[in-house]
Amino acid sequence: MLTTSNRGAIQPFLAMDVMAAANRLEAAGQDVVHMEVGQPGAPAPRSVRDAATKALRDGRIGYTDALGLRALREAIAAYYASHHGLEISPERIAVTTGSSAGFNLSFLALFEAGDRVILPTPGYPAYRNILGALGLEVVELATKAQDRWCLTPDAIRAAHVKSPIKGVLIASPANPSGTIMKSETLQAVIETCEELGIWFISDEIYHGLDYGMKPNCALRYSPNVVIINSFSKYYCMTGWRIGWMVLPEKALRSVECLGQSLYISAPMISQVAAIAAFDATDELEVIKHGYAKNRDFLMAQLPKIGLGNFLPMDGAFYVYCDVSSLTDDSMEFAKKSLEEAKVAITPGADFDPKLGHHYVRLSFAGTYGAMQEAVKRLGGWLG
Ligand SMILES: Cc1ncc(COP(=O)(O)O)c(C=O)c1O
C-alpha cells in the first residue's frame, strides 16, 4: 500500500483556511471584510511595477546566481548602511523566494535532524511546521502578555539546561501580537545565545512597520546572527515571492548550495523589481501612515465593542485580542464571526496550540473603510 509521510502531515495554516472560506462566501455573492491574512491591501509601489514591466519588455527572464543578482544584493547592503548604520558586505546577502525560503535554508544549513530549536509562543505557525517537517524538535517557550510576549534570556538558559538547544528564532515586531522587543532584551537574548553556542535567527520581516518604538536590527549585536527579511510586508510585494537573508560567513556556501538545488534562484523579474523598492520610500510611507491610522482607530474602537483585551501594537499590522471573556473556543468564535458578521479573523490556535483558544488575531493591513465596517459588523454581532 502507498502511504504518505508523517512528517509531511503538518498542521494547517488556519489563517489561509479562513481566507479560503471567506473567498468561498464571496464567490457565493456575500460581502466579507478581510482581517485574517497579513497582506497589504496596496499594490507594489509604482517604481517596482515599472521596473518589472521594463524587464518584461526587454525580453529574457532567466535564472540568476543562486544568491541573487549582484545589483539587488548591493541595494540590500546599502539599505543596512542607510537605515541601520551597518556595513554589511553584499557577499553575506542571499536573495530568497520570500522569507519563507529563508526558513528552510537556515534550518537546513544550521541544524541537524533532531536538534532542538526554541520558538516563543504565540508565534508565526510556519516556523513550527517547517521545523517539524524537517525533523527538528520544536521547543515552544510560552511568553506572557505581561512581558509583552517577549522571550527572556532566563527562559533560554532554563531550556538549555534541560537539554541543549541549537537555535532560537524570534520575530520583532512580532506576529501575531505586533510587539517589539526592547533593544536591551534583544541584546541580552543574543548575548545569551552566543555564550551558550546557540544560533540566533532574527525574522525582521515587519521592520519598517513600527508606530513609535523602533526595532533594532539583530546584526547590531553580533555578526553571527542569521537575519531573515522580505519584500512582502513593508514593500507590499507578497505575491512577488522575494526576500533575503544576511548570513554569517560560515553558513554562506551551504545556503548557496542548498538554494541551487532547492529552487535554483529567486524569480529574476521579482529581483529586478525589488531593486526599485528601495526608491519607493515616499509611496510606502503613505501606506504605512494608513496602517497607523487603522491602528489608532482599532485601539480606540475595539474596547467599545467588547474586544479591548490586547496590548498596544508597536509594529506590524495585527491586534492579538484575548477573547476569553466571550468564548472558550476562538476557533468557533472566528467561524461564527465569518458566517454571521461576515468578518474574517484568525483563531489564536494558529499561533499558540495551548492557549490560542482564548485569542483571535485581526489584521489591520486593509483600508480605513474596511476597519470601520469591521467594527460596525463585529459590534452589531457581539451585541
Ligand atoms: C513573521 C512572518 N515571517 C514570515 C512570513 C512569510 O512571509 P514571506 O514568505 O511572504 O516573506 C510571514 C507572513 O505572514 C510572517 O508573518
> What domains can you pick out in the chain, each with its CATH number?
14-43+281-382 (3.40.640.10), 46-277 (3.40.640.10)
pLDDT at 291: 97
CA of 245 to the centre of ligand 1 (A): 13
What pLDDT does 16 receive?
85
pLDDT at 18: 87
Instruction: Determine the pLDDT at residue 17.
Output: 85
**Ligand 1 pocket list (CB less than 6 A):** 38, 98-100, 124, 171, 175, 203, 205, 230, 232, 238, 243
**Cis peptide preceding 125, ω within 30 of 0:** no
CA 232 – CA 19 distance, rounded (Å): 18
Pocket test for ligand 1, best of 205, 228, 233, 234 (most atoms within 8 A of CB): 205
Chain segment 217-256, per-residue pLDDT in tens: 999 999 999 999 999 999 999 999 999 999 999 999 999 9
Alpha carbon of 171 to ligand 1 centroid (Å):
10
Ligand 1 pocket, mutate which of 16, 37, 100 (most atoms under 8 A from CB): 100
Segment 79-135, tens digit of pLDDT = 999 999 999 999 999 999 999 999 999 999 999 999 999 999 999 999 999 999 999
Q: What is the mean pLDDT of residues 138-146?
A: 95
**pLDDT band of 5, cuts 50, 70, 90:** very high
Q: What is the mean pLDDT of residues 326-338?
A: 93
Backbone angle region of 142, left / alpha / beta, with phi > 0 → left and psi within -120 to 50 → alpha: beta
The predicted model scores a pTM of 0.95
> 79-90 pLDDT, tens per residue?
999 999 999 999
pLDDT for residue 11 is more than 90:
no
State the Cα–Cα distance between residues 31 and 34, nearest whole angstrom.
Answer: 10
Angle at which helix 98-110 crosses helix 125-133, to 10 degrees, equals 40
